[in-house]
Structure 1
Amino acid sequence: MNVASALSALRSRRTRVVAYGAVVFVLALALSFQAATAGGTASTTSDDGRWTATPPGDVEATATDPGDGESDGGESSVATRNRSGVLVTVQSYGGFGENNGRAVLVRDGDVVWSFAPEDSRVFDAEFLENGNVLVSYATHLPASECPERTLEHKPDRCVKNNVVELEYDSKDVVWSYRWYDAFINHHEVHDADRLATGETAIADMGNDRAFVVNESGDVVWEWSAREHIGPGSEFWETYGGPDEPRPESDWTHMNDIDRLENGTFGLSIRNFDVLLEVNRSTKDIERVIGEPRNSGKDVAGRDPILDDQHNPMWVADDHVVVADSEADRIVEVDASANEVVWTYDDDLLWPRDADRLPNGNTLVTNSLRYEVVEVTPDGEVVWSYQVAWNGKRGIPYEADRVSLPEEPDGMPAQGATDEPTGSPTGTAAPSGTGEPTATGEPTGSPTATETPTDAATGSGGEGSTPGDADDGDGESGEGDSDENESGDGGLLDRLGGYAFLYLPFWVGTVEMAMLAVIGAVGVAAVVDVLAFAVGRLRTRIAG
């Protein structure tokens, strides 16, 4: 049958119905096969052994009791003591509105340790010198479990922020600091760092402040964004800033705090597009990195250095590596010159963490691609990990390469690896997006971000563990959190990223195309039936 005769045959409605059915049947059969075989175990190793590609599936295959965050006393957690891995925090699985996050330690593509607090979103985790794990997470609570003062804005819910130190094997909480806030979206604690003094520095996004608590839970230092960068401040008079439309409206989105080598605190103020260096003693701003946003979302003539950034990492030569999230790229900024000297932007979609590794590579948390990747200075992907659990994609927030010592009381080295050159241990896959994209020359290994200091000075604050944060006033809608951004990846890319999140993990680009064809055929069939019905109706009326 030639093309002309085939087209002629399609003029018959019966033939078209058969064609519609055949297309849908074949594609549905192919999708069913994909779903049935998604959990396969076959793997492929590259000729040089640098990476291994393993079919994606439920990453919890070898985890220790992944469901409730409690250890079952198995041997797998102990076995990780002398192995390197990647510590990943997952905000949630299967949707931004879900409260099912966890922290996972990944080795050879398997989760060998996990902590999954109930009804929570997990953002930050780090190994401590004593082998314990410091985890920061936000727990969604019903009104019956909330302090009355937190229910002014959302009378049926609130959030409890938690910074906890866990014993690695038992996951018992050995120290904690907790506080309540109005609701979970953009009120989640995103970062906490243990200082050499034993104190803990915390970025409190919901209250636009950074603070330090001692081991007894007393607030010994506090820095308020409203006081230091809000209207009336020297910063505001110089740069301006975004307006705060209402209380509890995510004004600053302060998402990171680091103790820098020079003794200052580094703060990431996402909604101002800047990093700040703050003197601990005076609380003065000593340096501004980036070009501050002075009003609204886009300012005419403004070419921002940073755009809704996350998780800066200070490295050698006064440089800082930053996940430039809204621009869908990773940048290394020369802080002294306030200019970008290296960029990686290959197939990134809302990246939220980037760590410079000792081997010169960069570990990238690619949040809306639901993966963690390691890239060389030239932009070549040498390792990747797809984040998923129970058939659902997960939204990773940050990832740290760690090397655990043989002795339980030894110091885990974050950013270190047993393989100082080449690809790290793990489930890996090469990039499927063509030639790597990277510009500039990155610097080498990171510098220390922690030095011992004298006793802290500053204002008193929340007095005990757990603590209670102040919760602002006025009216507010809960709104959305990080999920409603639209970076340079384009609207279709962003919508595609969201779509994949809510679909089963085995659905990829090809499967999405199949579903689109099935949808198009369905629309064509409906139009055909409607046209037939209208024709019959006209015939009856005319007759």
Structure 2
Amino acid sequence: MGSDLSVRRTFALAFVALLVFAAGSSLAFDPVDDGSLGPGTLDRQPSNATVVSTQGVHFAGQVDRSRPPRLLSIDPDGDLRWQYEGDHGEGAGGWFYDIDPLPNGNLLVVSPRGGETLVYELDRETRERVWTERLPFRDTHDVDRLDDGRLVVAHMRADVDNGTSRDRIVVWNRSRSEVTWEWRFADHFPADTDGGVDDDWTHVNDVDPVGEDRLLVSPRNFDQVLLINRTTGDIEMRLGRDGNTDILHAQHNPDYLRGPNGTPTVLVADSENDRVVEYARRGDSWERTWTLTGNLTWPRDADRLPNGNTLVVDSLGHRVIEVTPTGRIVWEFYATWAPYDAERLGTGDGSNGPTAVELNETGTHVVHGGAGESPGAGRRTPDAWLDRHTDGLAIERPAAALAAWWGAPGPVVPARVAVAVGLSRDHPRRRRRRDLADGGGVLAVG
């Protein structure tokens, strides 16, 4: 009885706090009017603009119009040049994931909604679509354009009709609207990997062409990055191991670099470990050569720039930062809500810079120099404000739950609040922060 009463009181506190906080939030934390889209530290001005994709916030499959998904273009001096919501701002479901600069200056945009994924070329100046492809794949995170115009797609969902895995990498022919090549995870991994096949078995969230016939692939739920030979179908290199979260833990957006003498190197946002890491391959094993940690909350993208700095998307810090090899922030932009991908225009797609070994800056470095008053998200986001102003008070625990909800992009409040307050047991399969931050608290989308 006492336990039930305690639970009810906790929920009551959380509910009251939610009502009070929500009542004032539209005035205090409007994502446009309060400056939550704006610069932080600006110690260095890059040569070109930075483009960012954000997921926004959703309720019951509908976009919260006060916190919509959007694409942002930020000038070197930190001014917001434009923001683009597409049809999300009118209430259409879905969000933005990967965004790639194309050789002609336009952007390749990935935007899932419902049971399909829209991929389109967006004119960066007019914000009009040049072409649109509707892929019959649900919740696809990454699509890249190959040199011949075909699309390589990270397809992560099961066949809902018969319950079998269809997690795969495919090449999509736009002129014929069909798959012309595929690589199936079920052909290369035991069915009991990560607890067994389900609707979100691999959660493969990234695929990047490497040279003419290789693909760098990120099955997030397997805690691994793979280099696949498209011709033979073989896995040529494997970084990480399912369940060994010391190496990688639910990573996002790995990039392939070549170090001294062509050393294979991977730079990756190690999301659940709240860090960015770089690994170099020595013989048959991998050595972690660089770690960026501290003051990061669920980073989901990291690009090595030609100048040796790294552009990092600090997703639940709601910001994009450029850091030196030793972790000092030299450029910072707060980009609510839940930024996913960022690209510095004029530097190519993804990473096109030197490795940590080439920079002679190996080791572990702490992120520092941000404009925020508190570590992580900083002064511009309401979740950080709530954390800071309820610290030590009787409502601290439910307030922390609400802060976790507020800082997250997904749709369902009760599941998040229950988990964050500690009322929900861990799922038999590892519960990760993504379960709080992604759609529905249980169905992961990030």
Tell me, yes or no, if the aligned pair for 2:216 and 2:228 is still in contact at 8 Å.
yes
Looking at structure 2, the residues matched to 356 and 40 of structure 1 have their Cα atoms a distance apart, in angstroms, of 28
RMSD in angstroms over aligned alpha carbons?
4.0
1:138 aligns with 2:84: no
Describe how 1:389-538 pairs up with structure 2 within 5 A: 394-403=337-346, 413-414=348-349, 441-443=356-358, 507=382, 509=384, 512-515=387-390
Deviating more after overlay: 313-322 vs 261-270? 261-270
1:175 aligns with 2:145: no
Paired letter, 2:222:
F
From 309, 327, 330, the equivalent of 1:379 is: 327
Query: Per-residue deviation at 1:178?
Result: 1.7
Tell me, yes or no, if the aligned pair for 1:242 and 1:272 is still in contact at 8 Å.
yes
Looking at structure 1, the residues matched to 189 and 50 of structure 2 have their Cα atoms a distance apart, in angstroms, of 36
Helix, strand or coil at the partner of 1:283: coil
Looking at structure 2, the residues matched to 333 and 415 of structure 1 have their Cα atoms a distance apart, in angstroms, of 17
Tell me, yes or no, if the aligned pair for 1:316 and 1:443 is still in contact at 8 Å.
no
Looking at structure 1, the residues matched to 335 and 207 of structure 2 have their Cα atoms a distance apart, in angstroms, of 25
From 240, 261, 273, the equivalent of 1:327 is: 273
Paired letter, 1:105:
S
Tell me, yes or no, if the aligned pair for 2:300 and 2:313 is still in contact at 8 Å.
yes
Looking at structure 1, the residues matched to 74 and 297 of structure 2 have their Cα atoms a distance apart, in angstroms, of 22
From 51, 72, 85, the equivalent of 1:104 is: 72
Describe how 1:108-507 pairs up with structure 2 within 5 A: 108-117=77-86, 118=88, 119-140=93-114, 159-180=115-136, 187-206=138-157, 207-216=166-175, 217-231=177-191, 241-244=193-196, 246=198, 248=199, 250-261=200-211, 263-290=213-240, 292-293=241-242, 298=243, 302=244, 304-317=246-259, 318-336=264-282, 337-388=285-336, 394-403=337-346, 413-414=348-349, 441-443=356-358, 507=382
Looking at structure 2, the residues matched to 382 and 160 of structure 1 have their Cα atoms a distance apart, in angstroms, of 39
C-alpha deviations, 1:168-226, integer Å up to 9, x for none?
33333333322345xxxxx4111111111222111112241111123413322111112
Query: Per-residue deviation at 1:510?
Result: 5.6
Q: Relative to structure 1, is the Cα distance of residues 520 and 364 closer, same or farther in structure 2, using a 3 angstrom cutoff?
A: closer
C-alpha deviations, 1:366-407, integer Å up to 9, x for none?
11111111111111111111113xxxxx0011111113xxxx
Looking at structure 1, the residues matched to 319 and 343 of structure 2 have their Cα atoms a distance apart, in angstroms, of 13
Tell me, yes or no, if the aligned pair for 2:40 and 2:332 is still in contact at 8 Å.
no
Helix, strand or coil at the partner of 1:122: coil
1:86 aligns with 2:36: no
Looking at structure 1, the residues matched to 40 and 329 of structure 2 have their Cα atoms a distance apart, in angstroms, of 15
Describe how 1:6-21 pairs up with structure 2 within 5 A: none
Tell me, yes or no, if the aligned pair for 1:353 and 1:397 is still in contact at 8 Å.
yes
Q: Relative to structure 1, is the Cα distance of residues 518 and 326 closer, same or farther in structure 2, using a 3 angstrom cutoff?
A: closer
Tell me, yes or no, if the aligned pair for 1:310 and 1:322 is still in contact at 8 Å.
yes
Query: Per-residue deviation at 1:51?
Result: 5.2
Query: Per-residue deviation at 1:133?
Result: 1.4
Q: TM-score, normalised by structure 1?
A: 0.54
Looking at structure 1, the residues matched to 216 and 228 of structure 2 have their Cα atoms a distance apart, in angstroms, of 6
Query: Per-residue deviation at 1:94?
Result: 7.5
Looking at structure 1, the residues matched to 40 and 216 of structure 2 have their Cα atoms a distance apart, in angstroms, of 42
C-alpha deviations, 1:401-459, integer Å up to 9, x for none?
113xxxxxxxx844699xx9xxxxxxxxxxxxxxxxxxx945459xxxxxxxxxxxxxx
Q: TM-score, normalised by structure 2?
A: 0.64
Query: Per-residue deviation at 1:110?
Result: 3.0
Query: Per-residue deviation at 1:45?
Result: 10
Helix, strand or coil at the partner of 2:139: coil
Tell me, yes or no, if the aligned pair for 1:315 and 1:356 is still in contact at 8 Å.
no
In structure 1, list runs of 5 or more residues that go unmatched.
Answer: 1-27, 53-81, 141-158, 182-186, 232-239, 389-393, 404-411, 421-439, 446-495, 524-543
Paired letter, 1:211:
V
Query: Per-residue deviation at 1:365?
Result: 0.6
Looking at structure 1, the residues matched to 29 and 193 of structure 2 have their Cα atoms a distance apart, in angstroms, of 52
Tell me, yes or no, if the aligned pair for 1:363 and 1:399 is still in contact at 8 Å.
yes
Tell me, yes or no, if the aligned pair for 1:134 and 1:165 is still in contact at 8 Å.
yes
Q: Relative to structure 1, is the Cα distance of residues 283 and 36 closer, same or farther in structure 2, using a 3 angstrom cutoff?
A: closer
Looking at structure 2, the residues matched to 227 and 275 of structure 1 have their Cα atoms a distance apart, in angstroms, of 17
Tell me, yes or no, if the aligned pair for 1:375 and 1:383 is still in contact at 8 Å.
yes
In structure 2, list runs of 5 or more residues that go unmatched.
Answer: 1-20, 158-165, 361-373, 399-446
Paired letter, 1:309:
Q
Tell me, yes or no, if the aligned pair for 1:402 and 1:415 is still in contact at 8 Å.
no
Looking at structure 2, the residues matched to 84 and 343 of structure 1 have their Cα atoms a distance apart, in angstroms, of 26
Helix, strand or coil at the partner of 2:131: strand
Looking at structure 1, the residues matched to 217 and 29 of structure 2 have their Cα atoms a distance apart, in angstroms, of 47
Query: Per-residue deviation at 1:309?
Result: 0.8
Looking at structure 1, the residues matched to 70 and 356 of structure 2 have their Cα atoms a distance apart, in angstroms, of 35
